[in-house]
A = this chain, B = another copy of it.
């Protein structure tokens, strides 16, 4: 483009440099992306991904749903549909949410292209540049990416083993108020948190809600893992306590299969109206085919029985991971998840999870460095381990390899004690989004 007035090196790389919207600067590739590409080699044990173990899903259940959808509703499945989603599926979603105490109207559900799209649409609807999203420290990498893509300021709120800490939430609200900032919503994953692995206690749920109600802050409750409990059911959803102040996000990606890309939002009625318009603007309508297949699966298969068998698979893997950590890395600390996919590990002070990752990949094990889950450069002393996808045998191998890496770093550290931090300091703020199948 000869008329392009941008100067310098960038013009050679991208003739449209300088033409992008301001928000495009919030989109950055992860610097661990290349590493994850390496980590996807079969000889590497990946404890980095958030992929469900779909092989545990009997394919004949899906095949049956597919053939019935085509024979009974083929032209509907192949056609455009409602922007809000298939009514029959929305009715079934009500039944699923009732398991966590939610009572709602089918008219207030919007089916989305995975719950990630619901996150995107809610953020598009509420966030002006500079508006605040409160999010747990750490928080879901994909949510941080969405919030940044609309130029939100992400303010982290500390957690402990009972989840989000009410006093920390109060303090964050006060802090943002003192800075004159507008808080638009609290983003929280109450159950089997990604990446922290912890669950918000039943006692804290009404308290967290009350704090937000008092401050006029919407709660965005993201619950993809709630049904994947190992030991006991989760407490009632925050949404079960308030229908006007909570947008609830659900998903079939973890309890059925992510390949269909079907999730949903349950929103206060007026917000739902706007969400549908935003959804139609973004994609016209969610896939009729995917929705009808899931609806048929829910109608004909013992879907709760299948979720229970998923729980068994993941419980065994969690147990294997915790046992292996205790055996090989007793000097570390970690959370003990009662469900979901993740264990959150804290390293000894001197180690840096991000700087250590290349070494780990060399040893044929991958994890997600804690920095991916912070918007403010935090998380260097943490890493997320996923037990959802690798077999128990591979989890054992992976943790052994990780122990080799960590113990090797610690040995070096003690050898060179007093000479400063061992691991090189990488740039701040640039681990943002691992490739999606890794998140």
A interface list, Cβ under 8 A from B: 1-5, 13-17, 19-24, 27-29, 51-52, 54-55, 57, 59, 62-63, 66-67, 70, 74-83, 113-114, 116-117, 120, 124-128, 131, 142, 145-146, 149-150, 184, 213-216, 218, 244-245, 253, 257-261, 268, 270-271, 273-274, 277-278, 280-290, 433, 435-437, 439
Q: Tell me if A79 and B258 are in contact (CB < 8 A).
A: yes
B contact residues around A16 at 8 Å (CB): 218, 268, 270-271
B contact residues around A213 at 8 Å (CB): 1-3
Q: Tell me if A259 and B78 are in contact (CB < 8 A).
A: yes
In the bound assembly, the distance between CA atoms of A277 and B26 in angstroms comes to 10
B contact residues around A78 at 8 Å (CB): 54, 57, 62, 257-260
Given B55, B67, B150, B271, which contacts A14 in the complex, CB threshold below 8 Å? B271
B contact residues around A52 at 8 Å (CB): 79
Known A114-B284, A258-B288; 15 more pairs at CB < 8 Å? A1-B213, A2-B214, A3-B216, A16-B270, A22-B128, A23-B124, A54-B75, A62-B78, A66-B66, A78-B259, A80-B253, A80-B259, A81-B437, A82-B437, A277-B433
Nearest Cβ on chain B to A114's Cβ, whole angstroms: 6
In the bound assembly, the distance between CA atoms of A218 and B1 in angstroms comes to 9
In the bound assembly, the distance between CA atoms of A428 and B142 in angstroms comes to 40
Nearest Cβ on chain B to A399's Cβ, whole angstroms: 24
**Could you show 17 A-B contacts with beta carbons less than 8 Å apart?**
A1-B245, A16-B268, A17-B270, A19-B216, A21-B131, A57-B78, A77-B259, A79-B259, A82-B437, A114-B283, A124-B149, A142-B280, A149-B278, A261-B283, A261-B286, A277-B433, A280-B433
In the bound assembly, the distance between CA atoms of A317 and B17 in angstroms comes to 46
Q: Tell me if A287 and B285 are in contact (CB < 8 A).
A: no
B contact residues around A289 at 8 Å (CB): 257, 259-260, 290
Given B77, B114, B128, B280, which contacts A436 in the complex, CB threshold below 8 Å? B280
B contact residues around A74 at 8 Å (CB): 59, 62
Q: How many monomers of this protein are in the complex?
A: 2
In the bound assembly, the distance between CA atoms of A282 and B142 in angstroms comes to 9
In the bound assembly, the distance between CA atoms of A14 and B260 in angstroms comes to 33
Q: Tell me if A277 and B1 are in contact (CB < 8 A).
A: no
Nearest Cβ on chain B to A385's Cβ, whole angstroms: 18
Specify the chain B residue showing the minimal Cβ separation from A63. B70
Q: Tell me if B287 and A27 are in contact (CB < 8 A).
A: no
In the bound assembly, the distance between CA atoms of A67 and B76 in angstroms comes to 19
Nearest Cβ on chain B to A6's Cβ, whole angstroms: 9
Specify the chain B residue showing the minimal Cβ separation from A433. B280
Q: Tell me if B15 and A126 are in contact (CB < 8 A).
A: no
Q: Tell me if A19 and B218 are in contact (CB < 8 A).
A: yes
In the bound assembly, the distance between CA atoms of A253 and B259 in angstroms comes to 19
Q: Tell me if B62 and A113 are in contact (CB < 8 A).
A: no
In the bound assembly, the distance between CA atoms of A358 and B55 in angstroms comes to 53
Which of A150, A270, A286: most chain B Cβ within 10 A? A270
Given A54-B75, A79-B54: A116 touches B282 (CB 8 Å cut-off):
yes
Which of A20, A80, A82, A113: most chain B Cβ within 10 A? A80
Specify the chain B residue showing the minimal Cβ separation from A127. B21
B contact residues around A67 at 8 Å (CB): 63, 66-67
